[in-house]
A and B are shown apart, each in its own frame.
Chain A
Amino acid sequence: MKFLEIAKKDLKAEFRTKQMLNSMVIFALLVIVIFSFAFGNEATIFVSNLNKKIVDLLAPGMLWIAFTFAGMLGLSRSFAGEKEEGCLEGLKLCPADRSAIYNGKVLSNAVLMFLMEMATLPIFVVLFSYDIKNIPGLIVVIILGTLGFIFVGTLLSALTVNTRTREILLPVILFPVLIPVILSAVTASGTMLANGDFSDVAGEMQILVVYDIIFFVVAQMVFEYTIED
């Protein structure tokens, strides 16, 4: 349970300043606000041959753009902070398995991201006067998608922290690998928002679960190579 300690340390440091969380929430809010400016008037138009409003078509994409972009902010700082003052060296000296560092970071990143998403969803509902039909289903999809994002993102964040252009490199290498998660999460959330059921998105749910499991396991195996020197 050493990873719990590491996560606790991260969250304690974060909640002292709330620097990261604040900027993530505000960034996500800004993304949603920009979308509401851009699509505000047209969003309520009813597309008769699809039997949907335009906002129904755009909502899942807007939500996941806000989530992933804001999440990227947190990820890129998650190991960069450790790089200063040799904190990473200290972590590596901990009498724990290397994968405990990874698991701890995953946990703290996931907590931050879930908090950000909890703040973003109501704002989205208010700005678009939107009505989410299947809330439990949407929550499950968001949790699975976020976990996939965090599992890969934390690993690649540890990888890019050693490079010259870390803040630029992380999104460039992360998004191609994330395509399965983003595609499945967007389609599944779209169905959930429009009162779908899990049976309608069985394929997407399978992909999300399989992706989460595979990358969690692979990351345990390769993480130590990203921080060794």
Chain B
Amino acid sequence: MPALVKRMERCPLCGAEFDAEGQGCRPSCPMATGCKVICCPSCRYSFPQETGLAGRLKAFLERRRTHP
């Protein structure tokens, strides 16, 4: 099953905010295991969840924004 982190995400296409849980690839996709691509429930736009290195970079940038 998709390896998505449960958290709120904002769709870069339509701006909808939604819970990432259950919004990953469907089991029918042979690449679903470990897949981090999220599908927006509002407009269906797909984008990878920013976890791993990207998540760490995001957290670092947010820390710098908060405490410059």
| Binding between chains A and B | no
Q: CB within 8 Å of A: which residues of B?
A: none
